[in-house]
Amino acid sequence: MEQRMEQPHRESIFSVDTSHIGVLDGLRSLGVLIVLWFHFWQQTWLMPAYQTPFLSWLGIRQIYPNSFRRSGYLCVDLMLLLSAFVLYLPYAKQTFLHTPVDSIGTFFKKRFARIVPSYLLVVLVTFFVALFEGFYANKPGFAVKDLLTHLTFTEMFFNDTYLFAGITAVVWTVCIEVGFYLIFPWLARGFQKLPLLVYFAMMLVGIVFTFGVALHISEPRVMVNRFLTFLPVFANGMMAAHLYAWYASKVRHKAAFSILGMLVAIGACVAVYRLFTMCTMTGREQQTWQLQYRAVLSFAFTALMLGFAIAPKPFRKILDNRVAASVAAVTYNLYLWHQWLMVRLRMSFGATSGKDISDMGVGTQWTLTVIALFAAFSVAILITYAFEQPLSRLILRKRKGIS
C-alpha cells in the first residue's frame, strides 16, 4: 500500500493529466490578453519600451514588444486551436483510454450553454446602443439584417454585416466556432476511425481554399477570416489532442519525452515570435500574410501547446498556475467585451481615433489603457459569475463539466 502511494510521487514531475490540462488555461489567458493588447493599442497608440538593465550583459538594454502589440490578432488562431483540442480530447481519450463521450445531443446542449448566453447578451446590448446612438439612421433594412444575421451566427456570410456592423466586431470568432460545432461530432467520429485521412483532408480543403480562392480576391480582409481558411487550425488542434491522449496512454517512461517537450516549447516560442515579427513587417499586406502563413502559424502554436503540456511540472507552472486559471475563467467574456468597452472609453475622452489619444500625451494613453483594462475585467467577471455561469447551470440542470 505504501509503495502504491509513493509511486505517483516519484513520477509526478513528468506525469500528464488528461482530465484537466492546466497549461491550456495559461495559453488561453495569454492569447486573449495579447488580442486585448492589440485592440487597446489600436485605440491609444501606446507603444512603450521596457528598460532591462539586468540583461545588459547580453546586449539587451530594452525590450520593445512591437511584434506582439501590432500582430496580436494572430492569437485568435491560438484560441481556435485550443478549442479544437479541448473538443476532440474526450474522443481521443475514448480511443486510447476507453473513456465515454457525450451523446450528440449532450454535446450541443453543453456548447449552447457555454457559448450562447454571453454571446446573445453582447449582441443585444451593443446593437441597441448603436440603434439608440443613430448608427442605423436611414438604414432600417441593414439594422434588421445586422441583428438577424448575428442572432443566427450567419454574419460572416455577408460582407456588410462582417465589415460594417454596428454590433461589436469581435463576435465573428463565435460565428466561426459555431460553424465548427455544427460539423464536429461527425468529424470527430471520422477522425477516430481514420485520423490521418481526416486530418489531411481538412488540411487539403483549407489550403486549397486559401491559396486557390481566398488569396485571389482583391480585398483580403473579406476572406481572411472565412471558415474554410481555419480548417488547418482545427485539424492541428484535433491531431494534437489525438497525440496527447496517445502519449498519456502508451508512453511509460516519460522523463526523456518530457525534457524534449520543454525544448520544443522553447523553440516554438522563438518560432511564434519570428512569425509575429514577419507579419508586423509586412505592413498593409498583413492580411495576405495571415492567409499565406495561417497553417504554418498553427503548427508553431501546436508545438507550443504540446511542448508545454508534456514538459516537466516546474516548467509547466509558467502557464499552469492560479493566476492563469483565474484569468482563463473569464476570458470568454473578456474577449467579447474588451474592444467595445475600449472604443466607448476612447470616445468619452473626445477622441475619434488612436492618433487623437496619442496627441494628448503619454499620460492620457496610460490613463485610458488602465481604465479600459479595469473596465474590461470588471465586466467580464460580473457577467461570467452573475450571468453566464448561473444561466449555464440552469440550462444544464446543474450538470457539471462544462469545458
Residue 306's alpha-carbon distances to 24, 259, 316, 395, in angstroms, are 10, 12, 11, 33
Residue 143's alpha-carbon distances to 105, 125, 158, 353, in angstroms, are 33, 14, 14, 24
Angle at 354 between CA 351 and CA 359, to 5 degrees: 75
| Residue 318 to residue 311: CA distance in whole angstroms | 11
What are the helix (H) ranges across 45-158?
66-70, 75-97, 104-132, 140-151
Whether the CB-CB separation of 38 and 72 falls below 8 Å is answered with yes
pLDDT in tens, 264-287: 999 999 999 999 999 988 877 899
Average pLDDT of the residues in 356-377: 96
Collapsing DSSP to helix, strand or coil, 13 comes out as: coil
The radius of gyration computed from the CA coordinates of the chain, to the nearest angstrom, equals 22
pLDDT confidence tier of residue 67, bands split at 50, 70 and 90: confident
Question: Is residue 277 classed exposed, middle or buried when 0-12, 13-18 and 19+ CB atoms within 10 A define those classes?
Answer: middle
pLDDT in tens, 179-207: 999 999 999 999 999 999 999 999 999 99
pLDDT at 54 over 70: yes
| Residue 357 to residue 359: CA distance in whole angstroms | 5
pLDDT at 394 over 90: yes
pLDDT in tens, 18-48: 888 999 999 999 999 999 999 999 999 998 7
CB 377: neighbour CB atoms within 10 A?
17
pLDDT at 60: 61
pLDDT in tens, 250-267: 887 788 899 999 999 999
Number of Cα atoms under 13 Å in the Cβ half of residue 321: 8
Whether the CB-CB separation of 305 and 23 falls below 8 Å is answered with yes
Average pLDDT of the residues in 213-238: 93
Average pLDDT of the residues in 301-316: 96
